[in-house]
Amino acid sequence: MKFHVLTLFPEMIENAVHTSITGRAAKKGTISLNTVNIRDFSVNKHMRVDDYPYGGGAGMVMEPEPVYRAWKSVADLRENNGKKPRCIYLTPQGKVLNQTLVEELAMEEELVLLCGHYEGIDERVLEEVVTDYVSIGDYVLTGGELAACVLIDAVSRFVPGVLSNEESSQFESIQDNLLEYPHYTRPEVWKNRQVPEVLLKGDHKKIQAWRMEKSLERTRQRRPDLLEKNRPVTTAFFSPTGGTRKAAEIFTGYLTQNPRYLDLTRRKLRKKKIRFSSRELLIAAAPVYGGQLPVTEEPLFANLQGEGTPCVVMAAYGNRHYDDTLAQMKKRLEEQGFICIGAIAPVIPHIYSSVLGKGRPDEEDRKILKKFAVETKKRLEKGRTEGFASVQVPGNPDPEPKQMKPVKKTFDSALCTNCQSCVQKCPVNAISQETLEIRGDRCLNCMCCVKVCKAKARGYDCSQVRQYLETHYSTPRKIEFF
């Protein structure tokens, strides 16, 4: 991450950023700081950069030309890629900096920060170069330098490699609009104050529950305004072989540190009615089979009921295409009281090929998933005040059911230990408990039974399908989101 700071007082920025964690990051090259003295671009021999305001009034105003020249010296560095640099003017008139904006800015390769002074900067140059107006709070400083340092510090924490513990940037105060739980270290007793016993027992589930309880309690006491913005996140997924689940968990991890997961691969959970309030968020994730939602006896997600609840749908596919799946999911969930505010189609390993989707989601995919998570947070913030908007997605919400050509399956009874794993784990109850035979009218060809068979008694031959897919769909597709 590169920070370019346009300022009249470079030493203020240099001294602050080259200290502590950001200082170490700058030495390592994880972040870089380029301070540009606006005074060096003065248009008069006395190096003045300000003048009296038109219309009268107290104070002085920074002239447009020196600011523009300073900005141009940085902007010219970006001419090769033809992209105008994102230029942030630190001003009390801007959008108040919050965690979502910090995460969004952290995804940029470089930022230009413009620091005003005196009574401000000529409006014309602001209109010319500024892309974002940002405030660090509802108060006025003598200049934008301290605000720029705050922004640099906050953004730097989300740059990989800046913090020694990568989780530190994700899991602490203000995440989920909750304050962080209390921390303790040695000694166990200090001034007759005892470390809470639950932290000494080593039961991680109880510790996690205690921390969540304390986080809610502290937020309720100190920042009840934040609690009003807190939105519990539930991810409901159908994932017979684990690929969809992995993609859904990565995306969810960028949204919240306290998710609830519903594994709808389990038949019992698909029969249980689950309701969601308007203050929650649902992530619904399913794999793509033949360009459509998997057909199950209990239709996927039909047991979920919303009350104007925002949701995001995810269709995970093995590099061919997701076709109508997003549209099907959107329609089904919106008919059940949800509002689909976003949709995404990540690529995952194809069950019939070791080539298609290999290693996906990869690092580039994670960047896109994180970008979409930030966009989702922005839509949630906007929806809280303006109402949620249903997103448009491609595909036919009511496609004709496809007749999938069954893949030949094999079963070696001599290897079978009758552990019943394939029976229990089959997501559509297609395997007989007595004979272990597969019912063709129910089978999804998901190959979950093959994956869970430790004795390797089950297998399948998909050579023809694999050859066709690898011939026509080997070029890696990018994640799409809406």
Please check whether residue 302 is in contact with residue 332, taking contact to mean a CB–CB distance below 8 angstroms.
yes
- Which ranges constitute the DSSP H helices of 228-352? 243-255, 267-271, 325-334
Q: What is the dotted CATH code of the domain comprising 408-461? A: 3.30.70.20
Both tokens of residue 361?
Answer: 């989601």
Measure the CA–CA gap between 288 and 323, rounded to whole angstroms.
8
- Using the predicted structure, report yes or no on whether residue 403 has a pLDDT greater than 80: no
User: Which residues are part of a known binding site?
Assistant: 116, 136-141
Measure the CA–CA gap between 453 and 395, rounded to whole angstroms.
36
- Using the predicted structure, report yes or no on whether residue 371 has a pLDDT greater than 60: yes
Fold of 175-225: Trp Operon Repressor; Chain A (1.10.1270)
- Using the predicted structure, report yes or no on whether residue 79 has a pLDDT greater than 60: no
Please check whether residue 257 is in contact with residue 232, taking contact to mean a CB–CB distance below 8 angstroms.
no
**Which residues are CB-contacts of 170 (< 8 A; sequence separation ≥ 6)?**
253, 257
Tokens 């019939």 belong to: 352
User: Which residues are part of a known binding site for S-adenosyl-L-methionine?
Assistant: 116, 136-141
- Using the predicted structure, report yes or no on whether residue 82 has a pLDDT greater than 70: no
- Using the predicted structure, report yes or no on whether residue 396 has a pLDDT greater than 60: yes
Higher pLDDT, 257 or 346: 346
Tokens 């939105």 belong to: 231
Higher pLDDT, 54 or 170: 54
The top-level CATH class assigned to 2-169 is alpha beta
| 81 confidence band (pLDDT: 50, 70, 90) | low
- Using the predicted structure, report yes or no on whether residue 405 has a pLDDT greater than 90: no
- Using the predicted structure, report yes or no on whether residue 231 has a pLDDT greater than 70: yes
At residue 167, the pLDDT reads 47
Q: Which 3 state secondary structure label does DSSP give 312?
A: strand
The 110-115 sheet, strands edge to edge: 32-37, 2-7, 110-115, 87-96, 132-135
For helices 10-17 and 145-156, angle between their N-to-C axes, nearest 10 degrees: 30
CATH superfamily label, 231-400+477-481 = Flavodoxin domain (3.40.50.360)
Task: Delimit the domains of the chain by residue range.
Answer: 2-169, 175-225, 231-400+477-481, 408-461
Q: What is the mean pLDDT of residues 219-224?
A: 95
Cβ count within 10 A of residue 473: 18
The whole model's pTM is what?
0.92
**Which residues are CB-contacts of 306 (< 8 A; sequence separation ≥ 6)?**
275, 276, 278, 282, 333, 336, 337, 338, 339
**Per-residue pLDDT tens over the stretch 152-182:** 999 999 999 999 865 465 555 567 899 989 9
**Which residues are CB-contacts of 53 (< 8 A; sequence separation ≥ 6)?**
59, 60, 61, 119
**Which residues are CB-contacts of 481 (< 8 A; sequence separation ≥ 6)?**
342, 343, 344, 345, 368, 372, 375
Q: Which 3 state secondary structure label does DSSP give 199?
A: helix
How far is residue 341 CA from its own chain's centroid? 14
Amino acid code (one letter) for 464: Q
Measure the CA–CA gap between 123 and 116, rounded to whole angstroms.
11
Please check whether residue 213 is in contact with residue 178, taking contact to mean a CB–CB distance below 8 angstroms.
no
Q: What is the mean pLDDT of residues 263-287?
A: 97
At residue 119, the pLDDT reads 87
